[in-house]
Structure 1
Amino acid sequence: MVVLSQPVLDNFAHFETCKPTGEINIIPAVDLSDYSNAKKLILEACKEFGFFKVTNHGVSMEFLDRLESEVVEFFKLPQQEKEKSGPPSPFGYGNKKIGPNGDVGWVEYLLLSTDSKSICPGISDTLWCLVNEYVCAVRKMVCEVLEMIAEELKIGSNNKDVLSKLIKNEKSDSCFRVNHYPPCPDNNHHQILQPLLMNGQDLIGFGEHTDPQIISVVKSNNTSGLQICLKDGTWVAVPPDPTSFFFIVGDSLQVMTNGRFRSVKHRVLAGDSVKSRVSMIYFGGPPLSEKITPLPSILEEGEVSLYKEFTWSEYKNAAGGDKVG
């Protein structure tokens, strides 16, 4: 769920970091071609970080480059052309305001349904076809990872799709968003930004939050900005890796594992004055009517649920709907 950022100054969200930030080189890298080892690494990463990246995922870089190129071309369009695809209702083009609290960041985005039959005005046929192909590939990857998790947790010995079936379900409430963080402005706006940066404050691209869904998958270009919060509250930068996919444990999966997995708090800082950042996020959500509660098969003898049962629809509405991420 989105955490309200500090007050904004002239439409620029900012905050002070509670603990020093640094770049982290201990992000678990999971080789999907090594099935047995991958299962163990994923489980450990979900418990410790709520975050990991996957390699050898089988999605060609040529295809990913084509999609990113089309995305960049969309965001290069004149503002009035982009706005033909919005405002989000809930899907479409949006600018800066993202969270339910009016979270303001240095970002513009395109939120799309993962239903291949849906059409978003203003989106080229080429981009739409590439998005659909991408969503299919990532959905398959997500289901594979969720089945590994079920096996390793021993909650799917006779039914390893206990988690993945929620994503495969034709009523799965999943969505896809593309974020574009423009280079920080210099010239006139730089006079506003410079005092913030000199005072140890960072320009927010996207404010700190957790994802309410089951699991999220992020693919970004070779520009830094993504940070995750460790268990001790320290914010650390995630080194960019355009060849890999980053997985983020969501609130729903934390509940379904009765707290064994950690829904990680993350954010994006927009401090690069030269390069823009493009990220593509697939949010794997269950059907709206699905009850979110710890899986009975995961509870040990005498273990009680840490969470009150709720439906995904109830939590989604409380978390601010499709604008959360």
Structure 2
Amino acid sequence: PPCPKPDLVKGLRAHTDAGGIILLFQDDKVSGLQLLKDGEWIDVPPMRHSIVVNLGDQLEVITNGKYKSVEHRVIAQTDGTRMSIASFFNPGSDAVIYPAPALLEKEAEEKKNLYPKFVFEDYMKLYAGLKFQAKEPRFEKMKAVEANGNLGGPIATA
């Protein structure tokens, strides 16, 4: 329903999506989706017959940062009920995620180790506890898991 006091409601807090590609069939009348660009929240206006495509953290890793997962949020509105449908396309839980070797060959040495190698299920366990925090600490935690040779093993989520 319309929110009488949207300034008192968070909606959905800022986050990135953990997976691969997200297709969002956004409400075509009521806005609310915002993206963080250059430190400012930008409205994504509703557009009839359109699909919003978001990239998740896994594609950021696979592309070695060439394409970034986008930080976004949903804010409450007073001008009506908002309904959207998101479809998430994720790797299998046992998929090993790492930067594509063909992309690494073209990178300068300092950019070759930006992202860790990890099992998608491990990342999801970590993400569940840290979803509304910055993605960089999640990547750092996965680097530690990789460095300890614990790929696919138990992972601490705290």
TM-score interval, smaller chain:
0.7 to 0.9
CA distance in 2, matches of 1:247, 1:293: 22
TM-score (norm 1): 0.37
2:114 aligned with 1:306: yes
What is the CA RMSD across the aligned residues, in angstroms? 2.0
Bigger Rg, which one: 1
2:53 aligns to what? 247
1:209 aligns to what? 15
- Look up the equivalent residue of 1:207 and give its one-letter code: R
Assess if the C-alpha contact under 8 Å between 1:203 and 1:271 holds in 2. no
Assess if the C-alpha contact under 8 Å between 1:219 and 1:242 holds in 2. no
Q: Deviations over 1:274-299 (max 9, x none)?
A: 41000100111001111111011111
Count, aligned residues = 127
2:35 aligns to what? 228
Assess if the C-alpha contact under 8 Å between 1:217 and 1:283 holds in 2. yes
TM-score (norm 2): 0.74
Deviation at residue 224 of structure 1 after TM alignment: 0.5
Aligned pairs for 1:114-133 within 5 A: none
Assess if the C-alpha contact under 8 Å between 2:24 and 2:84 holds in 1. yes
CA distance in 2, matches of 1:245, 1:228: 15
Q: Deviations over 1:130-178 (max 9, x none)?
A: xxxxxxxxxxxxxxxxxxxxxxxxxxxxxxxxxxxxxxxxxxxxxxxxx
CA distance in 1, matches of 2:65, 2:80: 38
Q: Give percent identity, aligned residues only.
A: 38
CA distance in 2, matches of 1:249, 1:228: 12
Assess if the C-alpha contact under 8 Å between 2:24 and 2:51 holds in 1. yes
Assess if the C-alpha contact under 8 Å between 1:183 and 1:275 holds in 2. yes
Of Structure 1 and Structure 2, the greater strand share is in 1
- Look up the equivalent residue of 2:103 and give its one-letter code: I
Segments ≥4 residues shifted beyond 4 Å: none
- Look up the equivalent residue of 1:215 and give its one-letter code: I
Structure 2 stretches lacking a partner, 5+ long: 133-158
Structure 1 stretches lacking a partner, 5+ long: 1-181, 187-192
Of Structure 1 and Structure 2, the greater helix share is in 1
Q: SS at 1:248's partner residue?
A: strand
2:129 aligned with 1:318: no
